[in-house]
């Protein structure tokens, strides 16, 4: 099962476009729209006003969607204009629109009289079949102002099982009982209010989020292998590095717009991601966020530089940002670590790895480059064969000025070759620009 996160923000998103608080300013490089997801390109989990355009921005068409599931009638989750957009295309394929009355009542007047749209009203406790999916409807603690009919979804196919748990406050006892033993592959749990605990609403803040997860782990709904993703995030949360660290303590991580989560049989094969970017582009922070909430082995290739306090400060900041549960290995012999990996790996970065190999082979002094190319060959093979989730960070050096020295030009050219070869063996390549991730299309 593949889940594309079309949005991971609250109703006003994060940052709020009208706000200048510290949290909003810090989040300007990672804009989050209203929470929604596209499953296997055929099923939408919530479809607020921003969802259709988000799909287009992430390179996905909604033409294949056959099921839309609404959780409740709040306007950030229900954008009925999507049904009109579909009507204008003359689509003749059947479409299921599923949800509680508060959501469906807003949608019925947005379809044409001959549109093949089936409205399916659901409530907590219902079980239905939608194409290849088994759907169980669960109770939410949310939405008294709209009749109190908000629901959550337990979605299962032969490819995996997920829990879509937004919007809700701490889960009702009946929901905890219903999901006991589910062993979800992924849980998408709302976490709206961060450190602000006096909101008085039916949403999660960070302490409530941690308590809910404790309950889900205790019942077997969440297991050590469950990917727990926090969604419906707002500017009441702390800046992302701090949020990532706090969520990691609960075995969770913040979701990001445009992120693809693969679970079940789709997640059994390792996924390799290359994150490229220039200086201070946010590439390391983005790579770390991709693996947040997991037991990670961090391959640090930079090493120590005697007499360089600025470098030492960079290393210190990187170490501080990483969760305490991560294991760090400082090495440039990373091929063996890739081949024998037993946990997800983060390799940061290819540029410092290449520098170290060129030092070892005395390539700067005009020596033969054959040994360096052999090192690159070995690294690429190990990257291809890594049995676990792996993320590598590298510098994008091809867009700047031509280096003034021959050694600089040699490094630039070799790193360009290395980046291209690693990209060719990666499932996903992300280019970071001014803190924003741009996913590069496959060749």
Q: Are 428 and 260 in contact (CB under 8 A)?
A: yes
Choose among 435, 284, 415: nearest CA to 348: 284
Structure tokens at 299: 């391959």
Q: How far is Cα of residue 361 from the mean position of the Cα atoms in its chain?
A: 38
Q: Are 81 and 49 in contact (CB under 8 A)?
A: yes
Q: Which of 87, 134, 199, 318 is catalytic?
A: 318
Q: Are 57 and 1 in contact (CB under 8 A)?
A: no
Q: What counts of helices (H) and strands (E) characterise the chain? A: 13, 21
Q: Are 372 and 380 in contact (CB under 8 A)?
A: no
CA dist 255 and 258 (Å) reads 9
Choose among 436, 407, 59: nearest CA to 276: 436
CA dist 28 and 21 (Å) reads 11
**Which of the 8 DSSP states describes residue 42?**
T
Structure tokens at 394: 């590298």
Q: Which residues contact 232 (CB under 8 A, 6 or more apart)?
A: 8, 9, 10, 35, 166, 167, 190, 191, 192, 203
CA dist 121 and 76 (Å) reads 19
Choose among 309, 315, 297: nearest CA to 391: 297
Q: How far is CA 313 from CA 284, 307, 352, in A?
A: 15, 12, 16
CA dist 78 and 81 (Å) reads 9
Q: Assess whether 72 carries a catalytic annotation.
A: no
The residues with which 298 forms a beta bridge, in sequence order, are: 328, 346
Q: Are 428 and 439 in contact (CB under 8 A)?
A: yes
Choose among 58, 72, 81: nearest CA to 3: 58
User: Crossing angle for the helix pair 240-249 and 206-219, nearest 10 degrees?
Assistant: 30
Active site residues: 318
């Amino acid at each position: 099962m593949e889940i594309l996160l079309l949005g991971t923000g609250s109703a006003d998103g994060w940052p709020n476009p009208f706000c200048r608080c510290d949290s909003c300013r810090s989040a300007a490089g990672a804009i989050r729209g209203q929470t929604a997801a596209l499953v296997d390109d055929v099923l939408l989990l919530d479809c607020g006003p921003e969802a259709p355009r988000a799909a287009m921005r992430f390179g996905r068409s909604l033409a294949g969607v056959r099921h839309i599931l609404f959780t409740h009638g709040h306007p950030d989750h229900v954008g009925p204009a999507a049904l009109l957009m579909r009507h204008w295309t003359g689509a003749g394929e059947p479409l299921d629109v599923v949800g509680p009355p508060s959501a469906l009542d807003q949608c019925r007047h947005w379809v044409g009289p001959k549109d093949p749209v089936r409205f399916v009203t659901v409530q907590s406790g219902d079980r239905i079949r939608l194409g290849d999916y088994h759907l169980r409807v669960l109770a939410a603690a949310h939405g008294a102002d709209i009749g109190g009919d908000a629901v959550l979804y337990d979605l299962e196919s032969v490819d995996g099982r997920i829990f879509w748990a937004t919007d809700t406050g701490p889960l009702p006892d009946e929901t905890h009982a219903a999901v006991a033993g589910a062993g979800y592959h992924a849980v998408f749990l709302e976490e709206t209010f961060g450190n602000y605990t006096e909101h008085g609403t039916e949403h999660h803040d960070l302490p409530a989020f941690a308590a809910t997860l404790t309950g889900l782990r205790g019942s077997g709904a969440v297991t050590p292998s469950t990917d727990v993703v926090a969604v419906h995030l707002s500017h009441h949360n702390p800046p992302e590095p701090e949020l990532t660290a706090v969520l990691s303590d609960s075995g969770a991580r913040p979701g990001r717009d445009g992120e693809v989560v693969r679970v079940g049989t789709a997640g059994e094969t390792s996924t390799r991601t290359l994150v490229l970017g220039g200086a201070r582009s946010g590439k390391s922070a983005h790579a770390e966020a991709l693996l947040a909430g997991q037991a990670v082995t961090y391959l640090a290739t930079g090493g120590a530089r005697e007499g360089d306090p600025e470098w030492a400060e960079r290393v210190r900041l990187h170490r501080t940002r990483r969760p305490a549960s991560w294991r760090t290995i400082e090495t440039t012999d990373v091929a063996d670590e890739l081949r024998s990996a037993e946990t997800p790996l983060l390799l940061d970065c290819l540029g410092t790895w290449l520098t170290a190999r060129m030092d070892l082979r005395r390539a700067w002094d005009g020596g033969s480059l054959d040994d360096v190319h052999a090192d690159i060959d070995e690294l690429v093979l190990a990257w291809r064969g890594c049995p676990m989730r792996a993320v590598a960070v590298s510098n994008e050096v091809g867009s700047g000025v031509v280096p003034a020295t021959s050694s600089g030009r040699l490094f630039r050219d070799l790193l360009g070759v290395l980046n291209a070869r690693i990209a060719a063996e990666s499932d996903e390549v992300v280019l970071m620009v001014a803190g924003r991730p741009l996913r590069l299309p496959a060749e």
